[in-house]
Amino acid sequence: MQSYNLTHLQELEAEAIYILREVASQFENPALLFSGGKDSIIVAHMARKAFWPGKIPFPLVHVDTGHNFPETIEFRDRFVENIGANLIIGSVQQSIDEGKAIEEKGYNASRNALQTVTLLDTIEEHRFDCAMGGARRDEEKARAKERFFSHRDDFGQWDPKNQRPELWNIFNGKKHMGEHFRVFPISNWTEMDVWQYILHEKIEIPSIYLAHERDVFVRDGVVMSTCDFIEQRDTEQTTRMQVRFRTIGDATCTGAVESNADTIEKIIEEVAAARTTERGTRSDDKRSEAAMEDRKKQGYF
């Protein structure tokens, strides 16, 4: 008898497409959170696949801290234009100007945590009942217990002790007025799966994922890019290094790694040999042992 087997990437893709279609069916006004990072890029790529030859039936939403790597924004705009999607931008700067969020001060100031305010405001303003994101369970221990369909109360909060059980492939998106869901179609993917998929599908990604020369300085063991948004101490000397980024977040809290990986194949080799997790370059997670858990409870993605 012929055997019917899928590879692990085909099976993960089939699962993600299934979830994207469930979201389009179960919610009236969903949106896909799109940062221009690799994880949200592959979710958007699979959203195209899920509804082809139709268009993606929901907008992409970027929660913009204003502290971006310019390469990311340039990529974002081109990507959105190419796939003919609708882009909505939620601005952290605007939240600050309106007094809804207060800018952190000091050397480690970051707008990362402020994104929660802007995100919840954007969800409310556009009446989104579901926000999809590219978070993965392998990223962080609080995310290891996240559901595919994650229920949020009318304050956007996550209650880890009161999550709905999720069985088989049956997802319960029922909710009361004012509540919404966060949905994570690539929950079961690892960093390696994402890169293998990008290679296999020949998906374009922002150039800063690939090794390049850059002005950097070292803070608390993390290589940071020099930029207008970060105050450097006198001891933090700028040097030029061959680096790449393993994750792309707010420029104030995303570190680079020294690397010569200038192709996707080389990145895969590098990831296979890596001895630290990709979030090891994120200073937002280093604030405490439960930093992610605490932010998620308040409504972070």
Residues found near another protein in the complex (CB under 8 A): 3-15, 17-18, 21-22, 24-25, 48-55, 137-138, 141-142, 144-145, 160-161, 163-172, 174-176, 187-188, 190, 192-193, 196, 199-200, 265, 268-269, 272, 274-277, 280, 289-290, 293
User: Taking the complex as a whole, how short is the minimal distance between the CB of residue 164 and another protein, in angstroms?
Assistant: 5
CB of 239 or CB of 263, closer to another protein: 263
The tokens for 252 are 């104030």
**Cis peptide bond N-terminal to 160, omega within 30:** no
CB of 11 or CB of 98, closer to another protein: 11
How wide is the angle at C-alpha 229 spanned by C-alphas 227 and 231, nearest 5°?
A: 85
- Distance from chain centroid for Cα 145: 17
Nearest approach, Cβ of residue 66 and another protein (Å): 29
- Closer to another protein by CB, 78 or 145: give it: 145
- Find out whether 37 and 128 touch, Cβ atoms under 8 Å: no
Q: Of the two residues 99 and 165, which places its CB atom closer to another protein in the complex? A: 165
The CA-to-CA distance between both ends of the chain, in Å, stands at 46
CB of residue 20 vs another protein: minimum separation in angstroms?
9
Nearest CB to another protein, comparing residues 80 and 96: 80
Minimum distance, C-beta of residue 154 to another protein, in the bound complex (Å): 13
The C-alpha atoms of residue 283 and residue 225 are separated, in whole angstroms, by 13
CB of 234: closest distance to another protein in angstroms?
29
Instruction: Please count the CA atoms within 13 angstroms of the CA of 146 that sit on its side-chain side.
Output: 31
SS3 at position 13: helix
The torsion angles phi and psi of 225, rounded to 5 degrees, stand at -80, 140
